[in-house]
Amino acid sequence: MTFTDFDVDLFLRDYWQKKPMLIRNPWQAWANPVEPDELAGLACEEGVESRLIGRADGRWSVEHGPLAEDRFARMGAAPWTLLVQAVDMHVPGVAALIAPFRFVPNWRIDDVMVSYATDGGGVGAHYDQYDVFLIQGLGRRRWRLGQHCDADTPLLVQEDLRLLAQFDVTDEWVLEPGDILYVPPGVAHDGIAVGDDCMTYSVGFRAPSRSELVEQFCAHMVTDMVEDDRYADPDLRAQANPGEIDAAALARLQAMVMDAVGDPAAFARWFGTYNSERKYPELDFRPDEQIAAEDVRELVADGVALCRNPASRFAFVAQGGDAVTLFVDGQAHDCDGDAALLARQLCAADVLTLDPVLMEKEAAVSLIVTLYNEGSVSFDPEDGPQD
């Protein structure tokens, strides 16, 4: 899927993380990538995160999936919305929606959530902590945008919905199929279905919080620390008041902390590994049958393309020379030469037709074998999780 007319540089300069933007159908030919029935089917599956949100008599209700197969037949006349998380992992056509937004690096991408609503359905006025592109897939939705919110904004917490106590509407648009609304973090928004069969695709991003980074990085670093690496003061002098923790001691103590977490290489390796962990690590995508180097060479010689698993997260950090560390699904792979070239190619494209000449290089083939056997790449775009 590609855009015919969208100025990425202008968008990044004036809108990204700054202000909302309405993009009227920029697609070459918009086609809704998942049918309502297929979405409902996903919400009934184990291992798929979904919520069914209703509103009756002014009260919101939230039901978490997996839903019973007959659940939708039992819905009343009141408006409702079904939200299914990470549909890109299950439907290749939904994964393809991410392609035009790849001007944002892989590591910032979270998932594509898909919603289905009946006439009047919505999830209430709220704000999200992340950037989102809301693509109207089917039917129409009225979006109203409002004020900038933060942690101090008063909320009405109902079920697990965090609705805004006050919504000051600043803009209002009705989105038609193919239209896109970009909403930066913190901007109040409310989308209400205009007519039945309203489907919206949220291409969502992620941005780690400082508290998460500090907590997780420090937890990682302490695993290698030893008990006898301690504060030492062989230069201690008698002090006037024994009650004071003096500036020199504080500086030395703080340096112990800062030195332990200040190594850029250790941070890069940890972050790449941490950030590339799968969203749902319990889903097992490993193939029934492991692949061998010879099989890889044959498939590539036959022109079969290598596909990244849409549930896998690929990113790399450049090292000296042409070397890179490739991060895939929580694992770090140090690559140089041909393997590094392959690693860069894999991070740049979700489907890759490999050069058979590259397959003469042991390191490159061995990287593919490892990634294939972990379920991170396949030679078949339809490969899904194992039951």
CA dist., res. 369 & res. 378, Å (int): 10
Residue 115, contacted partner among Co ion, ligand SIN, none, CB below 5-8 A by kind: ligand SIN
Q: Say how far apart CA 137 and CA 117 lie, in whole Å.
A: 12
- How far, in Å, CA of 318 to CA of 170, rounded? 43
- Identify which of residues 158 and 216 has a Cβ nearer to ligand SIN in the complex: 158
Q: Could you say which of 88, 111, 128, 131 contacts ligand SIN (CB under 6 A)?
A: 128
Binder of residue 202, out of Co ion, ligand SIN, none (CB less than 5 to 8 A by kind)? ligand SIN
In whole angstroms, the minimum distance from the beta carbon of 220 to ligand SIN comes to: 31
- The least distance separating Co ion from the CB of residue 6, rounded to whole angstroms, comes to 22
123 binds, among ligand SIN, Co ion, none (CB under 5 to 8 A by kind): ligand SIN
Cα separations (Å) of 259 from 56, 172, 367?
57, 51, 34
Which residue(s) pair with 51 in the sheet? 64, 83
Report in angstroms how near the CB of residue 121 gets to ligand SIN at its nearest: 8
Binding residue (CB under 6 A) for ligand SIN from 123, 175, 188, 347: 123
165: left (phi over 0), alpha (psi -120 to 50) or beta: alpha
Cβ 88 vs Cβ 98: under 8 Å: yes
Q: Of 37 and 246, which has the nearer Cβ to ligand SIN? A: 37
* Among the residue ranges 115-123, 167-175, 238-246, 320-328, the one whose residues contact ligand SIN (CB under 6 A): 115-123
Least CB distance from residue 191 to ligand SIN, whole Å? 5
163 phi, psi to nearest 5 deg: -90, 155
Question: Binding residue for ligand SIN (CB under 6 A) from 50, 202, 312, 378?
Answer: 202
Compute the least distance from the CB of residue 64 to ligand SIN, in Å: 16
Cβ-based nearer residue to ligand SIN, 118 or 376 = 118
Nearer to ligand SIN, 162 or 361 (CB): 162
Q: Which stretch binds ligand SIN (CB under 6 A): 39-47, 120-128, 174-182, 300-308?
A: 120-128
- Pairing outcome for strands 161-164 and 331-335: unpaired
Beta strands in the chain (DSSP E): 21-23, 50-56, 59-64, 80-84, 109-117, 132-148, 155-158, 161-164, 171-175, 180-183, 187-205, 306-308, 314-318, 324-328, 331-335, 351-352, 377-378
Structure tokens at 285: 């995508």
Q: Which is nearer to ligand SIN, 54 or 122 (CB)?
A: 122
**Coil, strand, or helix at residue 138?**
strand
Q: Which is nearer to ligand SIN, 128 or 338 (CB)?
A: 128
Q: Which residue number, 181 or 324, has a Cβ lying nearer to ligand SIN?
A: 181
Judged by CB under 6 A, the chain residues 169 through 198 that form the site for ligand SIN are: 189, 191
Selected range binding ligand SIN among 122-130, 255-263, 320-328, 360-368, rule: CB under 6 A:
122-130
Strands 180-183, 377-378: pairing is: unpaired
* Cα–chain center distance at 54: 26
Q: Is 128 in the site for Co ion (CB under 5 A)?
A: yes
81 binds ligand SIN (CB under 6 A): yes
Q: Report whether 171 contacts 145 (CB < 8 A).
A: yes
Distances (CA, A) of 301 to 66, 292, 350, 353, 360: 42, 14, 19, 10, 11
* Options 54-62, 121-129, 246-254, 306-314: segment touching ligand SIN (CB under 6 A): 121-129
Minimal distance, residue 134 CB to ligand SIN, in Å:
6
Q: How far is the CB of 126 from Co ion (least distance, A)?
A: 6
- CA 324/CA 344 separation, integer angstroms: 8
Binding residues (CB under 6 A) for ligand SIN: these are 81, 115, 122-123, 128, 132, 189, 191, 200, 202
Binding residues (CB under 5 A) for Co ion: these are 128
